Structure 1
Amino acid sequence: MALEIHQFPCLSDNYGFLVHDSESGETACIDTPDGEEYLKQAKAKGWTITAIWNTHWHPDHAGGNEAIKAATGCTIIAPQEVERISTIDHVVSDGDTVSLGAHEARIIDVGGHTNGHIAYHMPDSSLAFVGDSVFALGCGRMFEGTPEQFWASLERLKALPADTALYCAHEYTQANARFALHADPGNDELVAYGQEIGRKRAAGTPTVPTTLERELATNPFLRADDPDMMARWGGDAPHETFAALRAAKDAF
């Protein structure tokens, strides 16, 4: 039976995700930007939270862990770095797997935004929860990692099946689109995507999830190995082009 994913806004621009397996009755929080909101949303759905799957340690991703744990007794599954702000019941890293009922998620190292950042790829459901490693038309700021590290992480995501739905953690797409159009102005598919994003946001519709296929064609950070992008932004290797793009976005 397919998973049910409940997506809802949290804080100023985060998305919360509850993933429910109706057969087992298990429900996982994907990150916890607002513990009380997660508990409220789960109650409204009639679901009992059994696990938290954290992607990284930042407070807008793990700050609700303790409140949810206290209310539900759930299991906290996280990369080691989350111990900075929360207890962890089960530490996971690249190549490990976790389960929600009969559904399995594979852990992917996507360090760069933070050094221990991970993603949860659920191949049977054709989706991945990617936190702040990649956004629709963007990627996270490089707070802790290096360009080489971050680009290697993006390459791991780029290697997933093209139909993978990417559940990123923030509604940043409209701002990302403005930079993407500056970074890659001759991309007709990007122009059309930007127009669609404008319509969605005007209607109050989320732009998340996106698909890997669409991001491969339009996201400038995933296109740092494209010869035209390398020529435009410089760099003898893709990670150098990525670094130039990331620096430009930070100052945009």
Structure 2
Amino acid sequence: MLSVTPIPAFSDNYIWLLRQDTSPEACVVDPGDAEPVIRALEQEGLTLDTILVTHHHHDHTGGLPELIDRYSPRVIGPDNPRITGLTERVGDGDTCRVMGRRFDVFAVPGHTLDHIAFFTAGIPPLLFCGDTLFCGGCGRLFEGSPEQMHRSLQVLAGLPDETLVFAAHEYTLANLRFAQAAEPHNSDTVEALAAAQRARDFDKPTLPSTLAREKRINPFLRCNDPELRAVASQHGSTDTDQATFATLRAWKDSF
């Protein structure tokens, strides 16, 4: 049985720790800071076997040099020279085995051009999507286009509804406030925001979400919804799903 727990880092990052009860080996996803990872491993008596990297941003890779020097793990990520110490370069359609599980790799450009996501089937399926899909939102477009990000989100939305979504940031409250503005009559969003606020009041993570839930509350996965399009049309074009997405993303950037 593979378990996943968050290691908080910086002000709102989550470094995801994967482990099995039958092994002292562990895997982490997007270690932007080495210190909290080392502390968590030592507290649990674990050793770092594998690192998964979704994209090159420093808050996802900054801990690599120290972790590599200390543990000599496999480092699996996109083929980008800006990422230190990769031992396995992967892209769309590739697979890798981590903690005894097969992980499928999807290219999901938009936030960055090198962005990938890792998915493993099972009960339940697990998705590590970095800064592409958040609870109630999606990543900013630093390098890619709205068309690329919309297509990437559609790829992830095609995974099983029961998939657990492990995003890399605690952005849920801000995302759901925007979602309410985009769909003011969506009762699922109202309930999700209240639940997220309760979790944060006790300093608990709002993640993981599920894809089924995201399809109900995340405006960036609901670009074909008539009510959402009607509201978004006050901020730009909504002639197509892609145009609606671009309008929503630009609106969110200044929200």
TM-score tier, shorter chain, comes to over 0.9
Mapped pair 1:189 → 2:188? yes
Residues 56-104 of structure 1: per-residue CA shift (max 9 Å, x gap): 00000011111100000111111012x2141211100011111123211
Residue pair 1:18, 1:42 contacting (<8 A) in 2 also = no
Q: Which residue of 2 aligns with 1:231?
A: 230
Q: Which residue of 2 aligns with 1:243?
A: 246
Matches within 5 A, 1:121-200: 121-124=119-122, 125-200=124-199
Residue pair 1:154, 1:222 contacting (<8 A) in 2 also = yes
What TM-score, normalized by structure 2, do the two folds share? 0.94
Find the residue that maps to 1:49 and give its secondary structure: strand
Stretches of structure 1 lacking an aligned partner (at least 5 in a row) = none
Query: How many residues of Structure 1 are paired with residues of Structure 2 in the alignment?
Result: 250
Q: Which residue of 1 aligns with 2:97?
A: 99
What TM-score, normalized by structure 1, do the two folds share? 0.95
Residue pair 1:26, 1:100 contacting (<8 A) in 2 also = no
Q: Which residue of 1 aligns with 2:84?
A: 86
Question: CA 1:50–1:207 in 2, change beyond 3 Å: closer, same or farther?
Answer: same
Matches within 5 A, 1:5-84: 5-23=4-22, 25-81=24-80, 83-84=81-82
Find the residue that maps to 2:117 and give its secondary structure: strand
Question: Which amino acid in structure 1 is aligned with residue 29 of structure 2?
Answer: I
Find the residue that maps to 2:191 and give its secondary structure: helix
Looking at structure 2, the residues matched to 223 and 53 of structure 1 have their Cα atoms a distance apart, in angstroms, of: 29
Residues 119-155 of structure 1: per-residue CA shift (max 9 Å, x gap): 1111114110111101111111011101111011000
Looking at structure 1, the residues matched to 230 and 78 of structure 2 have their Cα atoms a distance apart, in angstroms, of: 37
Deviation at residue 6 of structure 1 after TM alignment: 2.4
Residues 166-201 of structure 1: per-residue CA shift (max 9 Å, x gap): 000111111111111111111011111111111111
Find the residue that maps to 1:193 and give its secondary structure: helix
Looking at structure 2, the residues matched to 22 and 51 of structure 1 have their Cα atoms a distance apart, in angstroms, of: 16
Find the residue that maps to 1:16 and give its secondary structure: strand
Q: Which residue of 2 aligns with 1:214?
A: 213
Deviation at residue 26 of structure 1 after TM alignment: 3.1
Q: After the TM superposition, which of the residue ranges 3-12 and 165-174 deviates more from structure 2? A: 3-12
Deviation at residue 227 of structure 1 after TM alignment: 3.0
Question: Which amino acid in structure 2 is aligned with residue 183 of structure 1?
Answer: A
Stretches of structure 2 lacking an aligned partner (at least 5 in a row) = none
Looking at structure 1, the residues matched to 161 and 43 of structure 2 have their Cα atoms a distance apart, in angstroms, of: 34
Structure 1 stretches of 4+ with a deviation exceeding 6 A read: none
Looking at structure 2, the residues matched to 94 and 146 of structure 1 have their Cα atoms a distance apart, in angstroms, of: 18
Question: Which amino acid in structure 1 is aligned with residue 241 of structure 2?
Answer: P
1:116 to 105, 114, 117: 114
Question: CA 1:103–1:85 in 2, change beyond 3 Å: closer, same or farther?
Answer: closer
Looking at structure 1, the residues matched to 194 and 72 of structure 2 have their Cα atoms a distance apart, in angstroms, of: 45
Alpha carbon RMSD of aligned pairs, Å? Answer: 1.3
Deviation at residue 204 of structure 1 after TM alignment: 1.5
